[in-house]
Amino acid sequence: MTKISAASFPDAEPQVRASPVRLRSIIGGLMGNVIEWYDFLAYSIFSIYFAKAFFPADNPTVQLMNAAAIAAVGYIARPLGSWLIGLYADKRGRKAALMWSVMGMCVGSLMIALTPGYATIGALAPIILILARLLQGLCMGGEYGTSATYLSEIAPENRRGFYLGFLQVSVVAGQLLALGLLLVMQHLLLTSEQIDRWGWRIPFVIGGLLALFALYMRRNVMESEAFAESAKKTGPPISREMLAHWRQLLLAVGITVGGTVGFYTYTVYMQKYLVNSVGLSKETSTFISSLALLLYMPLQPLFGLASDVFGRRPVLICFGVCCTLFSVPLFTALSHTKDPLVAFLLSFAGLAMLSGFTSVHMLAKTELFPARIRALAVGLPYALTTAILGGTTEFVALRFKASGHEQYFYWYVSAWAAVSLIVYIRMPETRFRTVTRTEARA
């Protein structure tokens, strides 16, 4: 692939500032993403409490493994959701697709909240849980790629990295909402026994209501000009045009694999690791995870801004080098500490490494594709990779632990980061590609 330079696009006119209408649309898109990620990640965060309600086994590790397996079902459904909602976004508009995704997430959350436990309805309880998780997976599969596409198309062209950094802020904000609610329930509202028996349903009720609020907000966002332009033009079927961009699709997968394993390790699984392996209490682990994620959030637009100045590729390479070299030492050190402060510092160090990926990877992928197929082409490779690697990360970690070889998981994280590092070194710079027009140029 040829190297891209600013001179390649003499007609590109950078936008310096976002207009008030664009800012409102950016905020609306991000707030919807916050709520969808809250709904989706609340499952993993609260599974420590509700696993015993849906599964009959007496062994807590087996119950967690069953809950993690159903969590993986949600990730497996994401490619189909990415195809359906991404295709709809490329045909009917980003705004309409984003509204459908948040509506489905509302239904999935309420299904989890209202389903009786195994003791009441037997095997029907985990079956309904599977259906709810499938619906959540379908919606999330279409949400993230479409949100990234939409935000990249309406953000000021010379600050796309900065604005897209807030996409990851919205992901973490959703997770922090769930963690924050858990902290409030643990320390102020309920006993551990009450959360075990019925309190775990509260976050899913709240999630359903918040999703209705997100639906209202998204009614008022603007459609992107890039989609409006592409909708006026005719071309080959979207599936055929997707196949014509097969090299970019493979590149998008390569960009994603290491960061996906890293993200679900350092964010979603870390809380359980601190309880199950480090030996900290549930309350302490939740507090450490929440504080680390809170400090991780402002790093996203800062790393995104760095990509506007230095390029997407150097920022991704920074992540690849750090995660490849330091994941094994970091987890080894965590496994030998009982000090909450040391555990916090090591957890935050992992998140700081991860920022080089989470802040810019979706933007780098939107810059690879033309507007006519962008939502589908960005979302589908991400959803496939997440289904195969992200959705199984927690399960793989627990399997290694159950087999007595937990340290193998540390090398697993490092190995996938090394795969992506090779891709980052060989990939072209995408910073100077425009996404506000109907064609992305190679």
CATH level 3 topology of 22-426:
Growth Hormone; Chain: A; (1.20.1250)
Which pLDDT does position 13 carry in this prediction?
39
Of 25, 26, 5, 6, give the one whose Cα is nearest residue 14. 6
Give yes or no for residue 2 having a pLDDT over 50: no
> Is pLDDT of 438 > 60?
no
Helices 246-263, 312-335: inter-axial angle, 10-degree rounding? 30
How far apart are the C-alpha atoms of 309 and 201, rounded to whole Å? 45
pLDDT at 14 over 70: no
Q: What is the mean pLDDT of residues 218-244?
A: 77
Neighbouring C-alpha atoms within 13 Å toward the C-beta of 254: 19
pLDDT in tens, 90-109: 888 888 888 888 888 888 88
Kindly report the length of the chain.
442
Q: Residue 402 CA to chain centroid, in angstroms?
A: 27
Q: Is the pLDDT of residue 57 over 70?
A: no
Query: Cα(274)–Cα(335) distance, rounded to whole angstroms?
Result: 9
Max mean pLDDT range (207-221, 259-273, 315-329, 361-375): 315-329
Place of tokens 């014509």: 244
- 436: CB partners within 8 A, 6+ apart: 15, 153, 157, 225, 226
Residue 429 to residue 364: CA distance in whole angstroms: 8
When pLDDT is averaged across residues 296-321 and rounded to a whole number, the result is 95
User: Between 438 and 400, whose confidence is greater?
Assistant: 400
**Residue 267's CB: how many other CB atoms inside 10 A?**
23
Residue 325 exposed, middle or buried by CB count within 10 Å (0-12, 13-18, 19+): middle
SS (H, E, C) 359-402: CCHHHHHHCCCCHHHHHHHHHHHHHHHHHHHHHHHHHHHHHHHH
Question: What are the φ and ψ backbone dihedral angles of 140, each rounded to 5 degrees?
Answer: -65, -35
- pLDDT per position as a tens digit, 400-426: 988 888 889 999 999 999 999 999 999
Is residue 235 within 8 Å of residue 88, measured between CB atoms? no
Considering the entire predicted model, what is its pTM? 0.79
Cβ(332)–Cβ(274) under 8 Å? no
CA angle 23/29/33 to nearest 5° reads: 140
Q: Which two tokens stand for residue 76?
A: 């497996």
pLDDT reported for residue 1: 40
Q: Where are the domains of the chain?
A: 22-426
Residue 45 pLDDT > 90: no
Crossing angle, helix 94-114 and helix 124-154, to 10 degrees? 150
| Residue 315 CB neighbour total at 10 angstroms | 27
- Phi/psi for 220 (5° steps) reads -105, 10
Question: Do 129 and 115 contact (CB within 8 A), yes or no?
Answer: yes
